[in-house]
A and B are shown apart, each in its own frame.
Chain A
Amino acid sequence: MQAGADQQFDLEAYSANYTSHAKVNRLIFIANKTNSVPIQLEALRIAADELQHSYDTSRYSEVCRQIGGRLGPQYVIDSAKLAKKQLEAEQKHQALDNELNGYKTNLIKNSIRMCQTYMGDHAYNRGNLQDAFKCYVRTRDYCSTAKDITQMCLNVIKVAIELNNYTHVQNYVSKAESTPDVQKDSIISTKLKCAAGLAALKEKKYKAAARKFTDVSAELGSSYSDVMSVQDVALYGSLCSLASCDRQELKRTIIENFRYREVLSTTPEVRDLVYDFYSSKYAACLSTLDRLKPFFNLDIHLSTHVNTLCSMVRNRALIQYSTPFTSVNLATMAPVFITDVSALEKELAKLIQDKQIQARIDSHAKVLHARHANLRSQTFQAALQAGDEYLQETHSLLLRSSLMRHDIFQRAQMPRGRGMQYPEHTMQMTGPG
């Protein structure tokens, strides 16, 4: 995502990175999410322009309704034109359907597959995702070559991403990856990596997402523009890596990864973010992160994860900052993390409690002291505890086996006559405690 430093968001340039549904979806998402009216109208305008010539009439009328005449007569629904479009779409669907029936009676495998794919494409263009998904999945039985299979998988993945069904995305990615020759076609395998990364991101598996995204090369170009752009790969990959990788991993996956460097160069700000982090300029890194956060929030796939990812990045920065020192003065540390001493103390206390930092805080002198766990004591403690547990469990086991051997079970009806009902005092008398 290109986000200027002057807080102005160049929608035209941004949307130029995408085509078809991705473009419209992202624009509508921005229009719904943003608070600024000009940006909203601009987004809707570009979306309406895009939709005007498509068969997706319901989406178009929805966007026009949202614009509500605020952009002049050009963006008001023309019902006659709309009806015409709908009729055309209907006719096309009929024609395809007839064609398909013809092929089916003659059992021409390849033609059935093609026709099903066309029908899927048509439903997709109409905005009818469920039908498109069904059509694409149906082609599965008629695939004969590896190429057919990867094509089918890519179609299904595209629709599944829009349907927010990431289990399907994963399934079809692994299906496509297991077809022969797919590794040779670098564009297709790159697309699959993008899809897999997106699925991992959505399932909050940030590390897996980072690994997938950083494996993508700039070769991708605009070939996957109906799903995501190179800039997105740079952004998602960097954020996930910063949030989930330690220094060594970061070095290996991004800094020394020449292919990904090209990807990163498409978004200079994100690249600076990563390099600042890696060269321990946490103040610069965190302030950039704070500044970019509103723009991240406008990203359709990232917005729900922005807060988690940003706080993970911050925690990681805190951990990395404190690791090499035996003691750190909180007063010098606070400005680096753009906060005051008491807030920093709380953050560090939380991390220590979660066992992410091995240190203790001297709250009086406001100093963080590294603490090295005494492994010997811990081992002794663990051994003694394990021994106690073993004794207890084995004792219990022997008793239970004895009870079972003698057939002493608690039954609903006591086999013997005595003591059927409880004496009153038994249950009320609970002794000490």
Chain B
Amino acid sequence: MTVNQLMIAIKNSSDTPKKLAQLLQTLQQSSINEPAPALLQGLSQTLQTRSHTLGIVYVLVAAGSQGLPQQANPQFVTLCQYLLLEFDVDQSRMAPDKFTTLCHLYREHSILLNEPQAALQPLRIALTNFQASHELITPIHADIFQICVLTKCYSMAMPLLAHPAYDVDPEISGMTARDFLLYSYYGSLIHIGRKQYSEAIGMLLHSITAPAMATSAITIAALKKYILLCLIQKGTFGSLPKYTPSQVTRCLKADCQAYMDLANAYSADPATKLEETAAKHHQAFDNDGNMGLLQLALEAHTMRAVQRLTRTYMTLSLSDIASRAQLKGAQEAELLVLRMIEAGQIHASIDDSAGMVTFLEDPEQYYGAEVVDRLSKQIALSNELSARVQAANCQVSLDKAYLQKTQMRDFGPRFDDPGEISSEQQMVFQP
């Protein structure tokens, strides 16, 4: 098919659903191998974004796949932008995988052209239209998050992260496992950028515990960040949740040795080997781009040591604080204590003339209205979630495959081995 024939075919068969279905079939069967400039030229001259969305998507994907990953195509980017700003949602949903592939290509070309910001708005509009509900995760999420991380525009991604997403549906969105991993990995990076560490930990856990038969490099990168964040947030890294796929758990030893060493040195008491371990694996942390998080983890360790002192002492001299928290001197200790008081991490006052710090008890008594507010919010959320779980449970119990399997289990032994009756069944057979 030449460019002209293709354009005409698209143009003529985009008005009724029946014709569109035929067009989809034709496009799926034929491969478009024309050079990109000719395709883009024909497209911009003959087709309109809203009425010919399906055809344009196919042509643009064919054009955009050429030249990557070395050469970006400005004309492709412009045409993509037009399409994403105004397209027919029903037509885009006819080929969700092609549509999301187009978004990936658009992102890659924009990054290559060094203007990722420009892609942000079209992608967000495309997502809003394409996404059936807020709860659906689509591959476009990952594209937007990646650009937000690259341009450090973390706040742009916040509206997307604010809605808890519960569902993936490849039928609607063309989602793949890799898209999901990227979604949670980049999502966590945005949370890290905004210093929301507990949210970031939650996001990372999504990618770590995602069902897997093999481990992806994304999961390993997530695992490394997860260990560091656990150290920052909780002070220890215990173990992964028990529902983590075994392949991922195995990676802890195989691929994250430096991080495990660090975690061990971190939670040892006294942590004499921490600095040494951090220095020893310097290269590994640097290669993974985790130096910043490592630094934060080390700082958190010192702060935690000071926090522990507040539970043990009522007053303590600055020099004693320095020696017990392994700081260089009274001056550094004073600075640290001051910073921590300001951040609300400890409650204390410094007597500068005597060089003494008086630690106070936590003034939070949980009497305020905020506490009630927070509690009721949590209860509401918990109720909502448990309703969802209930619904999911219902859905599973109606599932045909599930019913078949449980039936097999319940009545299996009778067919396999009539001599052996499980205790459960014996109970049933008792008069």
Question: Do A and B come from the same complex?
Answer: yes
Interface residue ranges, A against B (CB under 8 Å)? 349, 352-353, 360-365, 369, 374, 376-377, 380-381, 383-384, 387-388, 390-404, 406, 408-412, 414-416, 418-419, 422-433
- Give the distance in Å from the alpha carbon of A406 to the alpha carbon of B392 in the complex: 13
- Give the distance in Å from the alpha carbon of A168 to the alpha carbon of B402 in the complex: 49
- Give the distance in Å from the alpha carbon of A424 to the alpha carbon of B111 in the complex: 13
- Give the distance in Å from the alpha carbon of A360 to the alpha carbon of B314 in the complex: 6
Instruction: Name the one of B169, B189, B213, B219 contacting A430, with C-beta atoms under 8 angstroms.
Output: B189
Is there contact, CB below 8 Å, between A388 and B206? no
Is there contact, CB below 8 Å, between B292 and A433? yes
Is B71 positioned at the interface, with any CB of A under 8 Å from its CB? no
Interface of A is mostly: helix
In the bound complex, residues from chain B placing their C-beta under 8 Å from that of A398 are 166, 385, 388-389, 392
Given contacts A349-B312, A399-B206, A400-B209, contact A425 B111 (CB under 8 A): yes
- Give the distance in Å from the alpha carbon of A186 to the alpha carbon of B186 in the complex: 73
Instruction: Name the one of A361, A384, A419 contacting B314, with C-beta atoms under 8 angstroms.
Output: A361
Supply 21 A–B pairs (Cβ within 8 Å), ascending by A.
Answer: A364-B354, A365-B315, A377-B364, A377-B366, A394-B382, A395-B202, A396-B209, A403-B210, A404-B211, A406-B169, A409-B212, A410-B219, A416-B176, A418-B101, A419-B178, A423-B69, A427-B217, A429-B146, A430-B289, A432-B193, A433-B193
Is B288 positioned at the interface, with any CB of A under 8 Å from its CB? yes
- Give the distance in Å from the alpha carbon of A388 to the alpha carbon of B379 in the complex: 10
Contact with A along B203-244 (1 / 0, CB 8 A): 001100111111111110100010000000000000001010
Shortest Cβ gap from A65 to chain B (Å): 45
Is B164 positioned at the interface, with any CB of A under 8 Å from its CB? yes
- Give the distance in Å from the alpha carbon of A425 to the alpha carbon of B221 in the complex: 13
Is B108 positioned at the interface, with any CB of A under 8 Å from its CB? yes
In the bound complex, residues from chain B placing their C-beta under 8 Å from that of A430 are 189, 221, 288-290
- Give the distance in Å from the alpha carbon of A349 to the alpha carbon of B243 in the complex: 39
Binds A, one of B30-38, B74-82, B370-378: B370-378
In the bound complex, residues from chain B placing their C-beta under 8 Å from that of A349 are 312-313
Residue of B nearest to A365 (CB): B315
- Give the distance in Å from the alpha carbon of A411 to the alpha carbon of B180 in the complex: 13
Shortest Cβ gap from B324 to chain A (Å): 8
Given contacts A411-B177, A431-B189, A431-B193, contact A416 B108 (CB under 8 A): no
Is B152 positioned at the interface, with any CB of A under 8 Å from its CB? yes
- Give the distance in Å from the alpha carbon of A95 to the alpha carbon of B380 in the complex: 86
In the bound complex, residues from chain A placing their C-beta under 8 Å from that of B388 are 394, 398
Is there contact, CB below 8 Å, between A410 and B168? no
Instruction: Name the one of A388, A404, A429 contacting B198, with C-beta atoms under 8 angstroms.
Output: A388
Instruction: Name the one of B97, B209, B312, B385 contacting A394, with C-beta atoms under 8 angstroms.
Output: B385
Residue of A nearest to B148 (CB): A431
Interface of B is mostly: helix
Shortest Cβ gap from B182 to chain A (Å): 8
Residue of B nearest to A418 (CB): B101
Number of chain B residues whose Cβ lies closer than 8 Å to a Cβ of chain A: 84
Which B residues between 129 and 165 are near A, CB-CB below 8 angstroms?
Answer: 146, 149-150, 152, 164-165
Is B175 positioned at the interface, with any CB of A under 8 Å from its CB? yes
Shortest Cβ gap from A156 to chain B (Å): 36
Is there contact, CB below 8 Å, between B217 and A409? no
Is there contact, CB below 8 Å, between A352 and B312? yes
Shortest Cβ gap from A432 to chain B (Å): 4
In the bound complex, residues from chain B placing their C-beta under 8 Å from that of A403 are 168, 177, 180, 210-211
In the bound complex, residues from chain A placing their C-beta under 8 Å from that of B386 are 394
In the bound complex, residues from chain B placing their C-beta under 8 Å from that of A419 are 104, 176, 178
Shortest Cβ gap from A98 to chain B (Å): 50
Is there contact, CB below 8 Å, between B214 and A412? yes
Shortest Cβ gap from A414 to chain B (Å): 7
Is B320 positioned at the interface, with any CB of A under 8 Å from its CB? yes
Is there contact, CB below 8 Å, between A360 and B366? no
Instruction: Name the one of B149, B181, B378, B392 contacting A401, with C-beta atoms under 8 angstroms.
Output: B392
Is B275 positioned at the interface, with any CB of A under 8 Å from its CB? no
List 12 other contacts, CB 8 Å, given A374-B365, A396-B206, A429-B149. A360-B311, A360-B312, A362-B315, A376-B366, A388-B198, A394-B389, A395-B202, A404-B211, A408-B170, A408-B176, A410-B177, A431-B149
Is there contact, CB below 8 Å, between B313 and A363? yes
Is B85 positioned at the interface, with any CB of A under 8 Å from its CB? no
Is there contact, CB below 8 Å, between B315 and A391? no
Is there contact, CB below 8 Å, between B192 and A433? yes
- Give the distance in Å from the alpha carbon of A422 to the alpha carbon of B243 in the complex: 27
Is there contact, CB below 8 Å, between A410 and B214? yes
Residue of B nearest to A387 (CB): B378
Instruction: Name the one of A374, A402, A422 contacting B168, with C-beta atoms under 8 angstroms.
Output: A402
- Give the distance in Å from the alpha carbon of A426 to the alpha carbon of B210 in the complex: 19
In the bound complex, residues from chain A placing their C-beta under 8 Å from that of B205 are 392, 396
In the bound complex, residues from chain A placing their C-beta under 8 Å from that of B212 are 409-410
Which B residues between 26 and 62 are near A, CB-CB below 8 angstroms?
Answer: none
In the bound complex, residues from chain B placing their C-beta under 8 Å from that of A360 are 311-314, 359
- Give the distance in Å from the alpha carbon of A106 to the alpha carbon of B91 in the complex: 96
Instruction: Name the one of B150, B175, B356 contacting A364, with C-beta atoms under 8 angstroms.
Output: B356
Is B250 positioned at the interface, with any CB of A under 8 Å from its CB? no
Is B362 positioned at the interface, with any CB of A under 8 Å from its CB? yes
In the bound complex, residues from chain B placing their C-beta under 8 Å from that of A415 are 176
Residue of B nearest to A353 (CB): B312
Residue of A nearest to B195 (CB): A432
- Give the distance in Å from the alpha carbon of A415 to the alpha carbon of B170 in the complex: 13
In the bound complex, residues from chain A placing their C-beta under 8 Å from that of B290 are 430, 433
Given contacts A363-B320, A396-B205, contact A380 B382 (CB under 8 A): no
- Give the distance in Å from the alpha carbon of A376 to the alpha carbon of B364 in the complex: 11
- Give the distance in Å from the alpha carbon of A356 to the alpha carbon of B396 in the complex: 49
Shortest Cβ gap from A350 to chain B (Å): 9
Shortest Cβ gap from B101 to chain A (Å): 6
Residue of A nearest to B392 (CB): A401
Instruction: Name the one of B175, B215, B364 contacting A406, with C-beta atoms under 8 angstroms.
Output: B175
- Give the distance in Å from the alpha carbon of A406 to the alpha carbon of B179 in the complex: 14
In the bound complex, residues from chain B placing their C-beta under 8 Å from that of A402 are 166-169
Instruction: Name the one of A364, A374, A432 contacting B315, with C-beta atoms under 8 angstroms.
Output: A364
Is there contact, CB below 8 Å, between A399 and B356? no
In the bound complex, residues from chain B placing their C-beta under 8 Å from that of A383 are 375
Residue of A nearest to B320 (CB): A363
Shortest Cβ gap from B219 to chain A (Å): 7
Shortest Cβ gap from B136 to chain A (Å): 10
Shortest Cβ gap from B67 to chain A (Å): 14
Which of A361, A388, A431: most chain B Cβ within 10 A?
A431
Instruction: Name the one of A364, A374, A387, A397 contacting B382, with C-beta atoms under 8 angstroms.
Output: A387
Given contacts A360-B314, A391-B382, contact A433 B354 (CB under 8 A): no
Residue of A nearest to B219 (CB): A410
Is B296 positioned at the interface, with any CB of A under 8 Å from its CB? yes
Given contacts A388-B198, A403-B180, A432-B193, contact A397 B389 (CB under 8 A): yes
Which of B170, B225, B241, B314: most chain A Cβ within 10 A?
B314
